[in-house]
Structure 1
Amino acid sequence: MHKRTALTRGVLLAMASMLAACGGGSGGDDDGNGGTNPSPVAELKVLSNRADLVSGGDALIEVVAPAGTDPATLKIDVNGADVTNAFELRPDGRYYGLVTGLTEGRNLLRAASPTGKGAELEITNHPIGGPVISGAQITPWTCDTTVTAPTANNPDLGDPLDAQCNIAAPVYRYQYRTLTGGFAPYDVANPPAADAIAKTTTDQGHTVPYIVRIERGVINRGKYDLAYLADPSDPTAAWQPWNVPASWNQKLFWKFGSGCDYRRVQGNPGNVMDYVALSRGFMVASSEMTQYGTHCNDVTSAETVIMMKEHIIEKYGPIRYTMADGSSGGAHQQHLHASNYPGLLQGILPAAGWQDTWTAGREFADCGLLKRYHDSQAGTSLDMTNMQRALVAGHRWNQVCEGPANTNMASRVPFYIDPAVGCGDPDDQWSRSNPTGSRCTLQDFNIAVFGPRDATGYAKSPLDNVGIQYGFNALNSGAISAEQFVAMNEQVGGYDIDGQWQPSRMQADPGAAEIAHGSGRIPYGQNLGNVAIIADVEFNITEEHYDFRTWVIRNRILAVHDDYDNHVIWRHKSRVPDFAARRFDAMNDWLMRTEADATDRPLREKLIANKPDIATDSCYRSDSEQWSTDPAYCNTGATPNMDSTVVAGLFEPGVDEWPVFRDTRVASGESLASDIMKCQLKPLNRGDYQANFTNSQWSRLSAVFPGGVCDYSKPGVGQVAPDPWQTFSDGPGGKPLGPAPTSHAAA
């Protein structure tokens, strides 16, 4: 009992320190010895979330009694209703309980002592169907909770109770690990023999039957799954947050999903049957709303994680720390959440490492424009070779932009910016004959962030290519001629708000670039430098998930912190044995070491000081089946080279070559941070070019750029360090939540 109590107390303190931004932190002073200094009056603390972000009508709350006062003598009420019976002195020595029945909106929690020294705390409760911080929800929205042919992995949740798709109660299903190394359904009514069930030993040293209990419910209009090792004493039972079984190590692993889609109908969560995480004792979580392939809105994704973590804490117990993984669209979300909601995630494992959604979106548009231009020049004197096209875009070869591979960017441009394409084809989808229908673009799916551009109700777009000199680096290296450069920039054009090509450059809607930066849609290095990152970088130089995107994040961290010591890159060209376990265990070890650091140094210093030896930039040599940590060989520095053998006019890296190519904006002169949505301009200057222009060419170039060209010595338009923890509840643009509410003295 003593060991269990000590662990629980440590867990609560870890939650208060590491997750103060998203759970707890409502007052209290650490006494330096693992306790809290009692105040002269009672103190009220929401442990499961910020007091102003509570959802679902309940909250886990601690009451700290005044010095010398027995907490059991306190009278506690919410909005005048007595809730004293919800509180008890728990095994960890703290007085807390789950308060239910909160009304939507403002609630007043009060604690009164016999001496009259009381306290009160305002709690703001939001609907379990949302929103909390994301602003107005996307409509129409179709519920899909009823499953006519349920399966072991797709249970029926029953008919929805309302338009938010809420259900009567979560449902549970069970899996167990077989002795042959697979998962199989666990029949509650007819369970397998105990000796047919594998066992696992958690990272806390507890050996338990490998039985997994999976909860499926609906939060924030999306289906979610929670998987965890069942209580060994009763595999079909839940538990209380102050009585956690040894099977759960009180750590969370979030599975973010790939893609970028704008569906307006419920889908299923991602797969939570993660063998590595579950076997170590982690709880594994996923939601449809954090699957970019069904819901490409990073604010709603973050909101869902906030709401789900509150649910977990209130139902299962405090969370020590949260790790996450996810590739492609899952990488977008990890970077965005780590940057914008510090404390939500402590360690991230991005793969196919997109830096974010919007700066990548610029390149999709660029590639569509470049492909159109190149196609128009086929067979003319201005037609470029594949190598020239590759260098104009910054890539290994032209097909990264142009195709025909289905993961080239040009072919997918309409999906992101044409309102008549995608989003599940709702009955009222926008078309020119139905201009009031649902618009299926990235910005329209995020209209709560960007707001409408005008009376049409179409969302503002931050896409902009005014001043962009396509092929700038290729020109200065001598790869293309002055005439090729001038003609391309004359004719490349842009896209209008309906995703249709236009001869003029595209301009961000007024205020849209400012919102993109100020609201945090472009991840910033400050908070990215305060989370542990181990990036899975599969050597990819042939399609849209190419390697360079990971170096964009590295350079954003470097720009703020002057180092990137919290950012680890693991490169590989072939399958690595036990790679998932290696990366997971390295991150878990890193966070455990940081959690145990009792010094008063800042979090970033703790992360760097406690980084395990294995967490270092590396590349896997398939020839020797060994990891190399030589940064020169692995090409892992902040400014990696593009050195590669050239065969038949194309880059063809050899086995010992690890080039890192660039994106279209860096190839046009932007820094490796690649983080500007709309550039500031400067006058054309012949001294910026290594090429000689004729007077006619210079005159034509001046006509292309009447306002000037991008000045990359200056920040972008509206490019500022975003405030963390923003809400869009009061409308587009976002505003900081500010400090979490705390309790104060009351008569």
Structure 2
Amino acid sequence: MNTIPIALGCTLVAAVLAGCGGSGGSSGDGSPPAVPLEISVLGNRADLISGGQALVEVKIPDSASVRAEQIRMVLNGKDVTDAFALRENGRYMGLVEGLVEGGNTLVARAGDATAHLVIKNHPIGGPVFSGPQVGYWECTTKVASPTPDNPDLGEPLDEQCNIAEPVYRYRYRTLDGTFAVYDPSNPPPPEQIARTTTDEGNTVPYIVRIERGVINRGKYDIAYLANPEDPTKGWTPYARPASWNGKLHWKFGSGCEFGRRQGNPGNVLDHVALSRGFMVASSEMTQYGTHCNDVTSAETVMMLKEHITENYGEIRFTTADGSSGGAHQQHLHASNYPGLLQGILPSDGWQDTWTTAREFADCGLLKRFYDARKDAGEPFTIMQKAHVNGHVYEQVCEGPANTNMASRTPFYMDPSVGGAGCGTHWNVWSEGNLAGIRCTLQDFNIAVFGPRDHTGYAKTPLDNVGILYGLRALNEGKISPEQFVALNEQIGGYDINGRWQPTRMKADPGAAEIAHRSGRVAHGKYLGEVAIIQSIFFNVVEEHYDFRGYVIRNRILREHGDHANHVIWRYKQTPPNYTERLFDTLNEWLTRVEADRSDKPLREKIIANKPALAVDACWRADVSQWSTDPVYCNTSAEPTSTSSIAGEGDNAVYRPGVDEWPVFRDTRVAAGEGLASDVMKCQLKPLSRADFAVEFTPEQWTRLEAVFPEGVCDYSKPGIGQEAPEPWQSFMDGPGGKPLGPAPVSAPGEGAA
């Protein structure tokens, strides 16, 4: 589990000659065949290397008479054998440095046997596969007034904010269970430093070393239990110390903003992970609150994992956590970049960025409609809004909750609005400054979607053509035919600049197809091949409501026929030791999968090795215990929305009781879409009375026909362009995405000059 298992092609030693262009048996002149050698890059694909170095292993068959000391290594015609040795772990390995940007040929020679591997190197500032980087980008590496949490990295060396070398800072765990600054030049007495025992049973001083550097234009932090021999030193990638268990935990950040100013990583002082021996990493580029681009986020994780492998050693497996925007990233990375993460702990669980973006647009439109109806003296009641929206009641869309979608609609759609240094930038777009930076989700992801026309504005996949808003509410008798007709007549849409228009919004040509084909809509295929514990706080009052985790469950179910790798834990009050329970269960799960040496496919291993705690459950705070009753906890893939009601008439509102765990829906499911909720642009069918459980007057039907001249959504069919995305796509050749295909492998001979 320490490499990226993505269509590796011919990787077996025997296949180097046989299946990849060589031949078995004797050579053409009757002499014995040359000894097959295999060159492998560790920690990444050979065509995705960055930063000018790569950790390499050369394998010799056990039956061969060639010895490691006979192997000569040549990089681009230069002997680099001195970088290699038979290491303490029994493997012939070396850190190859001096890679030029572009293709590099590494050759292994041992007598008559030769093998070569082409290594493609990319800049440490990126990009590697994410496509052209957005400008403008402001570096903040030079810190005028450094603090223990914000060290000075020095002046940037270039426009990508690269620095001369990483800097290190230190913390230690006190005896009263807090982190304090550790000064290597004046350390506290050893008896004042706590000790911790890793999950491998090694007891070491609880001193944390934190590396901060810059990769892919973003500041990163890597925290780990310091080398017991010397806290100020790292180690080689060939023999890790007792303090590191070889595992990595990633901290993904929440939000969704489009900053153009370098920020700081998330907090890597994760006691639960560190105390067990995990390395903990985060980057500004994986903090959605400053950088809402999941492709660049995945690229950064890949680049930093390579950096860790080259400087500290191979990673056994990678786990992750993160709420809200951190959940977006976990789901999307697991879906699109198999092998990048082996286990995830999403919470406040948005399923992905774009299918939730649909609902932000819907909520802005619905609020506008409801406000106009109220002003006209024809308001919808709280319960009518709840049924139209799919939510528990109107505040999920409209407020007055602290977080509600309509209030944030402009942040994702209006090019002149946005936080994190975008909307406040001196050169932000406006109608008087059309060439300024555009603060929209699609414009921050223009490398994915491409420009729509000569304006240079990015294409948008947002679309509400054919959406029958309030369909389920109508057919269940919750709203009247006239309310339904008026709603769909007047809801309208947004133009490319986030301005309301009376007509529905249409996705730009090809944009919805790109959203699906490139993987911007999290797909269930590879989500079914990671261990997932979805942490769901019982939240029915704001945008992070429960249903989003069930969307992921339904996407996995549709692709695999079950959702056995997907565990849901629900709670209304935080259970005791909850963080430890989550982390330890996932750690046990993946450690058991790692130890499974059977020939089972990965997904079968994940399902077969689930720990006892890795089952759906809900925490009953009233009796202080966990329940695993799926009916009581309401954890099926099609959960009920049954709830008690408080109040009467226009003041009635759903108010779940202590033993009720209803799961409400989103605006698109309330409009007839399935529970996977993943259609960016629907296929259309003619408007038909057969789809309605009510009768319309002739005048109402004529009005509906005028609203839907092209037809209405046909959810019996996939959406436009909705197909399973190929994994590991690159945008270096332009928008839309192109699968990388099989990873490069070594081949006999010395290759082209």
Q: Shared fold by TM > 0.5?
A: yes
SS state of the match for residue 670, structure 2?
helix
Matched with 2:435 is 436
Alignment partners' CA distance in 1, 2:215 and 2:103: 20
SS state of the match for residue 668, structure 1?
coil
Alignment partners' CA distance in 2, 1:733 and 1:72: 47
Is the Cα–Cα contact under 8 Å of residues 88 and 96 in structure 1 kept in the other structure? Answer: yes
Matched with 1:411 is 407
Alignment partners' CA distance in 2, 1:575 and 1:354: 19
Matched with 1:114 is 111
Alignment partners' CA distance in 1, 2:332 and 2:127: 19
Q: CA deviation at 1:26?
A: 7.8
Matched with 2:76 is 79
Inter-CA distance 197–378: structure 2 relative to 1 (3 Å threshold): same
Matched with 2:467 is 468
SS state of the match for residue 184, structure 1?
strand
Inter-CA distance 414–680: structure 2 relative to 1 (3 Å threshold): same
Alignment partners' CA distance in 1, 2:609 and 2:71: 42
1:109-157 per-residue CA deviation (whole Å, 9 max, x = no partner) reads 1112222x21111110000000000000010000000111111111100
1:434-480 per-residue CA deviation (whole Å, 9 max, x = no partner) reads 11111110000000000000010000000000000000000000000
Q: How does 1:488-507 map to 2 (within 5 A)?
A: 488-507=487-506
Is the Cα–Cα contact under 8 Å of residues 13 and 37 in structure 2 kept in the other structure? Answer: no
Alignment partners' CA distance in 1, 2:249 and 2:192: 27
Alignment partners' CA distance in 1, 2:440 and 2:589: 39
Alignment partners' CA distance in 1, 2:34 and 2:513: 43
Inter-CA distance 430–624: structure 2 relative to 1 (3 Å threshold): same
One-letter amino acid matched to 1:101: G
Alignment partners' CA distance in 1, 2:375 and 2:250: 51
One-letter amino acid matched to 1:608: I
Q: CA deviation at 1:93?
A: 1.4
Matched with 1:43 is 38
Is the Cα–Cα contact under 8 Å of residues 416 and 423 in structure 2 kept in the other structure? Answer: no
Alignment partners' CA distance in 2, 1:145 and 1:559: 46
Inter-CA distance 244–30: structure 2 relative to 1 (3 Å threshold): farther
Are 1:725 and 2:733 an aligned pair? no
Alignment partners' CA distance in 2, 1:258 and 1:602: 33
Are 1:714 and 2:717 an aligned pair? yes
Query: 106-115 vs 701-710, which deviates more?
Result: 106-115
Is the Cα–Cα contact under 8 Å of residues 9 and 742 in structure 2 kept in the other structure? Answer: no
Alignment partners' CA distance in 1, 2:52 and 2:12: 24
5+ long unaligned stretches in structure 1: 1-13, 32-36
Q: CA deviation at 1:29?
A: 4.4
Is the Cα–Cα contact under 8 Å of residues 534 and 569 in structure 1 kept in the other structure? Answer: yes
Matched with 2:658 is 655
Matched with 1:52 is 47
Identity %: 66
Alignment partners' CA distance in 2, 1:166 and 1:388: 55
Q: 672, 695, 703: which is aligned to 1:669?
A: 672
SS state of the match for residue 204, structure 1?
coil
Q: CA deviation at 1:381?
A: 5.8
Matched with 1:34 is none
Matched with 1:383 is 379
Alignment partners' CA distance in 2, 1:171 and 1:179: 27
Is the Cα–Cα contact under 8 Å of residues 83 and 96 in structure 2 kept in the other structure? Answer: yes
Q: CA deviation at 1:404?
A: 2.4
Q: 79, 90, 95: which is aligned to 1:93?
A: 90
Matched with 1:309 is 305
Q: CA deviation at 1:424?
A: 4.7
Q: CA deviation at 1:71?
A: 2.2
Are 1:69 and 2:66 an aligned pair? yes
One-letter amino acid matched to 1:472: L
One-letter amino acid matched to 1:104: E
Q: How does 1:207-246 map to 2 (within 5 A)?
A: 207-246=203-242
Q: CA deviation at 1:25?
A: 8.4
Alignment partners' CA distance in 2, 1:182 and 1:381: 58
Is the Cα–Cα contact under 8 Å of residues 568 and 635 in structure 2 kept in the other structure? Answer: yes
Are 1:481 and 2:477 an aligned pair? no
1:476-510 per-residue CA deviation (whole Å, 9 max, x = no partner) reads 00000000000010000000000000000000000
Is the Cα–Cα contact under 8 Å of residues 633 and 661 in structure 2 kept in the other structure? Answer: yes
Matched with 1:199 is 195
Matched with 1:141 is 137
1:519-574 per-residue CA deviation (whole Å, 9 max, x = no partner) reads 00001110000000001100000000000000000000000011000000000001
Matched with 1:698 is 701
Q: How does 1:252-651 map to 2 (within 5 A)?
A: 252-380=248-376, 382-422=378-418, 423-648=422-647, 649-651=652-654
One-letter amino acid matched to 2:547: F
Is the Cα–Cα contact under 8 Å of residues 353 and 545 in structure 1 kept in the other structure? Answer: yes
Matched with 1:5 is none
Is the Cα–Cα contact under 8 Å of residues 680 and 716 in structure 1 kept in the other structure? Answer: yes
Inter-CA distance 667–39: structure 2 relative to 1 (3 Å threshold): farther
Matched with 1:744 is 747
One-letter amino acid matched to 1:668: A
Inter-CA distance 30–172: structure 2 relative to 1 (3 Å threshold): farther
Is the Cα–Cα contact under 8 Å of residues 104 and 121 in structure 2 kept in the other structure? Answer: yes
Is the Cα–Cα contact under 8 Å of residues 241 and 318 in structure 1 kept in the other structure? Answer: yes
Matched with 1:3 is none
Q: How does 1:171-182 map to 2 (within 5 A)?
A: 171-182=167-178
TM-score in terms of structure 2 length:
0.95
Q: CA deviation at 1:39?
A: 8.1
Inter-CA distance 424–209: structure 2 relative to 1 (3 Å threshold): farther
Alignment partners' CA distance in 2, 1:728 and 1:382: 50
Is the Cα–Cα contact under 8 Å of residues 26 and 46 in structure 1 kept in the other structure? Answer: no
1:214-254 per-residue CA deviation (whole Å, 9 max, x = no partner) reads 00000000000000001111111010011210100000000
Inter-CA distance 489–61: structure 2 relative to 1 (3 Å threshold): same
Inter-CA distance 26–288: structure 2 relative to 1 (3 Å threshold): farther
Q: CA deviation at 1:685?
A: 1.0
Is the Cα–Cα contact under 8 Å of residues 355 and 550 in structure 1 kept in the other structure? Answer: yes
Is the Cα–Cα contact under 8 Å of residues 324 and 348 in structure 1 kept in the other structure? Answer: yes
One-letter amino acid matched to 1:670: E
Is the Cα–Cα contact under 8 Å of residues 26 and 50 in structure 1 kept in the other structure? Answer: no
Alignment partners' CA distance in 2, 1:256 and 1:156: 23
Is the Cα–Cα contact under 8 Å of residues 519 and 723 in structure 1 kept in the other structure? Answer: yes
TM-score in terms of structure 1 length:
0.96
Alignment partners' CA distance in 2, 1:39 and 1:127: 36
Q: CA deviation at 1:41?
A: 2.7
Q: Cα RMSD over matched residues?
A: 1.4
5+ long unaligned stretches in structure 2: 16-23, 25-32
Alignment partners' CA distance in 2, 1:381 and 1:198: 67
Is the Cα–Cα contact under 8 Å of residues 48 and 61 in structure 1 kept in the other structure? Answer: no
Alignment partners' CA distance in 2, 1:382 and 1:559: 41
1:618-643 per-residue CA deviation (whole Å, 9 max, x = no partner) reads 00001001000000000000000000
Is the Cα–Cα contact under 8 Å of residues 43 and 315 in structure 2 kept in the other structure? Answer: no
SS state of the match for residue 378, structure 1?
helix
Q: CA deviation at 1:30?
A: 9.1
